[in-house]
A and B are shown apart, each in its own frame.
Chain A
Amino acid sequence: MRINKRFYIRAVAIIVVILFAILMAFVGKQHTILLDNKNIEVNGAELKALSIVEIQVDKQPSLELAKRDRDQALVQGQTHTFLVTYNDENWEEIVLEKKVKVPFSEDMLIFSIPAFINDIDDVDSYLQPFEIENVSE
């Protein structure tokens, strides 16, 4: 095979296109995030669901969840901002905000609000992959 300048230009062009395709996959990847306000057990301790909580993912409209409620947010990309607003036992409004990176390979994840409030930095405790089980008779 003759290797000349044209070959290198073509090789670089192909690599650039492949890299661009990978970038598009990362930018356009859609994840379903289930926003869950239910009791949860983390490291042996039971965390109680909040009676009422407001959650906003990225710039999407905020959702209000009561105890045992679950809703979903469809997000595009790999990094997302979660904004949780709730009232503590003294009726003082608390706002928590965190930017979280979502694993690329996961299509559906569950976001536990009580675990998020408990420890905002322990991402693994409140954001976990979720798989729909196929129920067969």
Chain B
Amino acid sequence: MKKITSKGIKSLIRNNLVTVLFLVICSIGIPLSGYSPSYLISEIIVRLSRNSFLILSLLIPIMAGMGLNFGMTLGAMAGQIGLIFVTDWNVVGIPAMVLAIIISIPISILLGQLCGRILNKAKGREMVTSYILGFFMNGVYQLIVLYGMGSIIPIKNTSLVLPRGYGIRNTVNLIGIRRSLDSLFNLSIFGIKIPLMTFIVIALVCVFIVWFRKTKLGQDMRAVGQDMEVAASAGIQVEHTRIVSIVISTVVAGIGMIIYLQNIGTLNTYNSHTQIGMFSVAALLVGGASVSKANIGNVFLGVILFHLMFIVSPMAGKNLIGQAQLGEYFRVFVSYGVITMSLVLYEMRKKRENLANAEKLQENQGALNED
């Protein structure tokens, strides 16, 4: 049996500092909030079904060494466009979701291609580039939705269009597809509702990711992620592989956004997608992932811990100092803080590894010289 040493514990904590920090925050916040365990569990289940699909979209670009894909907002925009169309056409239920997915996929592929090509020109700075690209595409999205829809793109549903005759309203009621996937096949355990069908869909994506890692393309992505030059010399089309990883991520993010919004039931036309990238990345990092390494377990652990903090912090803030607003500030502060901290820790770890490698190399060279 492996011996547990203080050194081992220290390295475990050091390697999972963000997760440990969140465990501490949650363990303090839960008793302060005063929420019952059954309430917390049911809320966590809702959040798991709502967010997991979106966060899973981040795994493949990490595998290809492209870091955290903030460009997933592009996919989210595609999903929202699909939802606007199905709402306009008055299509409801599961067929509406499927139709929205079918509409979003070509848009996601197009945006993913664009994103992938740009990221290939910014190797080594993928994260900041994709983050800024998200802002840029948000402008294009707003131009299309605010000025194009209703004028160039026909929208006949008057409840969707602004009173001036073109442009989509700030809020779109998704009553036609609200909880259509979640309520398709429900399970109730001790009064806690479990949206089984949504979890089956999430499980299918997990299976797809596990299977994809074993395929030729998946192996190529891993090789590209480890070392682009070595991969290129082995005959792998590095740039193409990177584009494919971003395209897959964008498509999955688009579908994830549709699942996310069917759970919420309302589309905030100009804001829903803007924060989704940051919150998804933060949740994945909280789950113990890093810029270069992430797995399915990180996704679920991240959603549980990150959203547990989301649930308890307003009430904990209210009980602590009498203001729920503190919790709201805390959420945003922690989301950005987690990303910053993870990036700093990742860089520190990389530097430490490089230093250790250099020392080893020097030692080896010294030994060779002595011989």
What does the 1/0 interface line of A18-37 toward B look like (CB < 8 Å)?
A: 00110011011111000000
Contact status B102-A28, CB under 8 Å: no
**Is A24 within 8 A of B90, CB to CB?**
no
A107 within 8 A of partner (CB): yes
A contact residues, total (Cβ < 8 Å): 13
Q: Specify which of B95, B158, B176 is in contact with A24 (CB 8 Å cutoff).
A: B95
Size of the chain B interface, CB-CB below 8 angstroms = 15
Are B99 and A24 in contact (CB-based, < 8 A)?
yes
Is there a chain B Cβ closer than 8 Å to A17's Cβ? Answer: yes
Report B-chain residues with C-beta under 8 Å of the C-beta of A28. Answer: 86, 91-96, 98-99
A-B pairs with beta carbons under 8 A, tally: 40
A29 touches B102 (CB 8 A): no
Give A41-76 interface residues, CB cut-off 8 Å to B. 76
Q: How far is the CA of A36 from the CA of B158 in the complex (A)?
A: 24
- Say yes or no for B103: interface residue by CB 8 A criterion: yes
Instruction: State how many angstroms separate the Cβ of B59 from the closest Cβ of chain A.
Output: 25
How many angstroms between the C-alpha atoms of A28 and B91 in the bound complex?
A: 5
The residue among B86, B102, B103, B158 with the most chain A CB atoms within 10 A of its own CB is: B102
A99-135 vs B, CB cutoff 8 Å, 1 = contact: the mask equals 0000000010000000000000000000000000010
Cα(A83)–Cα(B216), bound, Å? 58
Task: Give B92's nearest chain A residue, CB to CB.
Answer: A30
Tell me whether B176 and A30 are in contact (CB under 8 A): yes
With CB as the reference atom, state the residue of chain A lying closest to B180: A28
List B residues 140-167 near A (Cβ within 8 Å).
158
Contact A29 B91 (CB under 8 A): yes
Query: Would you give the 0/1 interface string for B62-104, flagging 1 where the beta carbon is closer than 8 Å to chain A?
Result: 0000000000000000000000001001111111101100110
A25, B158: Cα distance in complex, Å: 20
Chain A: which residue is nearest B96 at the CB level?
A28
Q: Which of A25, A30, A76 contacts B99 (CB 8 A)?
A: A25
- Most chain A CB neighbours (cut-off 10 Å) among B86, B95, B176: B95
Residues of B within 8 A of A24 (CB): 91, 95-96, 98-99, 102
18 pairs from A and B in contact (CB 8 Å cutoff):
A17-B102, A20-B98, A20-B102, A21-B98, A21-B102, A24-B96, A24-B99, A25-B89, A25-B91, A28-B86, A28-B92, A28-B94, A28-B98, A28-B99, A29-B91, A76-B93, A107-B90, A134-B158
